[in-house]
Amino acid sequence: MSWPIRARMMMLTTLVTLVLSVIAAWLFLDHQHRDETDQRLRHVYGASLEMVHRFAHRAPPPLIDVEGVAATQLVHPAGRVVSATEQVRGQPRMATFVPSRRPVAMDRQLCDVPGFPGRCMIVVAMWVPAAGGDLIAYSALPDPPWYGSKARLAQLVAAVAIGLAVVALGTTYLVGRSLRPVEAMTAELAEITETDFAHRVPVPAHQDEIRYLATIVNRTLELLEAAVRRERSFTADASHDLRSPITGARLRLEEALMDPGAVDWPNMAKDLLGDVERQQAIAEDILTLARLDADRPAQHQRTDLAELVRTELQHRAPGRVPIHSDLRPGVVVTCEPLLISRLLTNLLNNAQRHAATSVTVAVRAEDGTGVLVVYDDGTGIAPEHRELVFERFARLPESRALDPRGTGLGLPICREIARAHQGSLTIEDPGQGTCLVLRMPRVD
């Protein structure tokens, strides 16, 4: 059974309060019982001293009257009752313990005392130097009950009950008031659907944990909305880029089927192959991004970044412009070599398309960071477009003119690869041309 937080907190605080109240009440009653016992013991000792003063060197009468105690007996050391009060007249001696001569008195708590069946009594024994021989004076008062009195016990029970009611109601109110912002957040979150992420939860005014929770929830909703918006844009752009070559191929085929004899089929096949290659390139780039977005298990290994770049350059076919290198050894990073090679290939392809005369690749270390730089001396990218080119399917007019069959996913894939390695890929200002800089954590 699932209990609401209000009920659980109310039950917990009430139970704790009950336990503490019972302990406090027990300590209070025990203290009161001890005080009452000491007070009655003083009365009994006082009555025994009165016997000493009244019958010192005198012969006591058979019936005596003593105030302040329930019963008193004067008993011969042999056990014979010499005198007694009316309550225990004709009863055997109340106690059998005998005090020593020094001290001359002692006390006990006894139950089922003669004359008081079923009750416990405080009994004090004291020597009395009477005429004809010493006697033992036994005086008794009832032992007070542990709860003191019924009226006091009833007051304590009423106080504990009132305290428990106040704690239960107060806890319910305070917890309910504390949970109101959470209930408001829950109601707002319930309005969010898979097509509407614009809702935000209300942020309480108080600086507490719930305000922090509301802030984190709103930040998460903003990230989620941005991710969904980016995913929808990505899907729309991918659909558009895939539709263009498919539509072109279909139109060419429809035109060819209308007059098959007038069609140059080799050229037709060449055009269709170009469309298929563009579709394949887009599909491969989309799959690469999907793998990077899926946070697949990394297969990182320690790699000398300069050696990796050198190997890639050695196996690379000559391009439109030459590639110069400045590779400093000893720049060791933890990476997945295949992904870094894919990143370098994309950057080099992009640089060779836009370069005027040459491309430069450099590897160096900067403050515990491995740095890979790809620079071309082309027209460069305007500062306001340096983040735009990292958006998926975003292509500048210059890029479309130089590479009409491009997918617009090369640089976005490179940035995702950098992020997968806890690194960054940015465009820095070289003064002329374009300078893309990859930074990754370096290991010793």
Whichever domain contains 227, its CATH number is 1.10.287.130
Q: How many other C-beta atoms can be found within 10 angstroms of the C-beta atom of residue 328?
A: 12
DSSP 266: H
- Looking at residue 140, its pLDDT comes to 94
Task: Extract the tokens encoding 332.
Answer: 């060791």
Interacting residues of 359 by C-beta distance below 8 A, sequence separation 6+ = 319, 321, 322, 323, 324, 348, 351, 352, 374, 375, 376
Name the token pair of 400. Answer: 């479309």
* Mean confidence (pLDDT) of the chain: 84
- The answer to whether residue 156 sits within a structural domain is no
Radius of gyration of the chain (CA): 50
**Which of 266, 293, 320 marks a domain boundary?**
293
Q: How many domains does the chain have?
A: 3
- In angstroms, the CA 79 to CA 82 distance is 9
> Quick check: pTM over 0.85?
no
What's the pLDDT tens digit per position in 161-213?
Answer: 999 999 999 998 888 888 888 888 888 777 776 666 677 878 877 777 778 88
**Which band of pLDDT confidence, cut at 50, 70 and 90, is reported for residue 318?**
confident
Q: How buried is residue 370: exposed, middle or buried, by Cβ count under 10 Å (0-12/13-18/19+)?
A: buried
Q: What percent of the chain has pLDDT over 90?
A: 31
The verdict on 273 and 310 lying in the same domain is no
Assign 424 a pLDDT band (cuts: 50, 70, 90): very high
- Shared domain for 47 and 124, answered yes or no, is yes
Q: Are 305 and 372 in contact (CB under 8 A)?
A: yes
Which of 253, 272, 293 lies at the terminal end of a domain, its last residue?
A: 293
Query: Is the model more confident about 82 or about 190?
Result: 82
Structure tokens belonging to residue 328: 């400093």
Same domain, 251 and 377: no
Q: Are residues 267 and 247 part of one domain?
A: yes
Beta-carbon contacts of 21 under 8 Å, excluding residues fewer than 6 positions away, are 160, 163, 164
Strands (E), 27-153: 71-75, 81-84, 105-113, 116-128, 135-142
- What pLDDT, on the 0 to 100 scale, is given for residue 249? 79
Going by C-alpha positions, the residue among 400, 347, 355 that lies closest to residue 378 is: 355
- Let me know whether 310 and 434 are in one domain: yes
Note whether 88 and 73 are within 8 A (CB): yes
d(CA 330, CA 443): 10
Do residues 317 and 242 share a domain?
no
Same domain assignment for residues 128 and 246: no
Is the C-alpha dihedral spanning 407, 409, 410, 411 positive or negative?
positive
Strands 359-366 and 323-327: parallel
pLDDT recorded at residue 141: 93
Assess contact for 344 and 363: CB atoms under 8 A. Answer: no
pLDDT, average across residues 29-41: 91
- Locate all alpha helices (DSSP H) within 191-324, ordered by sequence: 209-258, 265-293, 305-314
Nearest Cα residue to 366 out of 331, 335, 337, 341: 331
Q: Round to whole Å and give the CA distance between 36 and 30.
A: 10
Say if 203 falls within a structural domain: no
**Termini Cα distance of the chain:** 56
DSSP-assigned states of every residue in 301-327: EEEEHHHHHHHHHHTSPP-SS-EEEEE
Residue 405 DSSP symbol: T
What is the residue range of 214's domain? Answer: 209-293
On whether both 313 and 288 belong to a single domain, the answer is no
pLDDT (0 to 100) of residue 242: 67
Same domain for 236 and 321: no
- Rounded CA-CA distance 73/141 in Å is 13
